[in-house]
A and B are shown apart, each in its own frame.
Chain A
């Protein structure tokens, strides 16, 4: 069974540009989460989808971040326009409905220069 996959693994963009990160959860997992780890800090929750609906987006830093999960399958996280402080590793995770374990992807390392 394929795990959670994220694309790209690395991205280097200039300040002001747009970047879109993608996450493919484990097939059949209704819950999908985005987390971010800024260098030297803890991993922080960004948002939670249940199928295609945003259940909790309390962790989204500001309105430059837009997450979607059309059709309840894969999800994208767009940063527009990117700022230097957006640099970090973005993790995606998924879990079954009622599941107690979240499965994580390898993360996307975003560097904004």
Chain B
């Protein structure tokens, strides 16, 4: 079964700092990868996804992630965070042959103005 690990439980940054959130997955054949975000009081929404092709994926709100197959990683990055990026971020992979998602434990990001 697929599994996902997120290294950081809580990250605190000042505005304009650069962000990198780690995500590692277990090998399971064809790899599809997602990052979701949950802003305070809102629903989970998709930030970006990787299915194939260019391993550097651009998402919404200036986020990007890089799929590195040799490291089983899909780290999320943003060069300069804003206070509005304060949220919880989840890395996820679909199960083999199914639509269900396996999530990491999530990383809370707090951005200090």
Give complex CA distance A23, B100 in Å.
17
Residue of A nearest to B104 (CB): A42
Complex interface: chain B residues within 8 A of A105 (CB): 43
Q: How many cross-chain pairs have Cβ atoms below 8 Å apart between A and B?
A: 48
What number of A residues sit within 8 Å (CB to CB) of B? 23
Write the nearest CB–CB distance from A103 to chain B, whole angstroms.
8
> Contact between B43 and A42 (Cβ–Cβ < 8 Å)?
no
Query: What range describes how many residues of B lie at the interface?
Result: 20 to 34
Instruction: Give residues in B with beta carbon < 8 Å to A.
Output: 32, 36, 41-46, 49, 51, 90, 95, 98-106
Selected A-B contacts with CB under 8 Å, 24 pairs: A4-B43, A31-B99, A33-B99, A33-B101, A35-B101, A35-B103, A41-B105, A42-B104, A43-B106, A45-B100, A45-B101, A45-B102, A48-B99, A56-B100, A59-B100, A91-B44, A93-B44, A100-B49, A100-B51, A102-B46, A102-B99, A102-B101, A104-B44, A106-B42
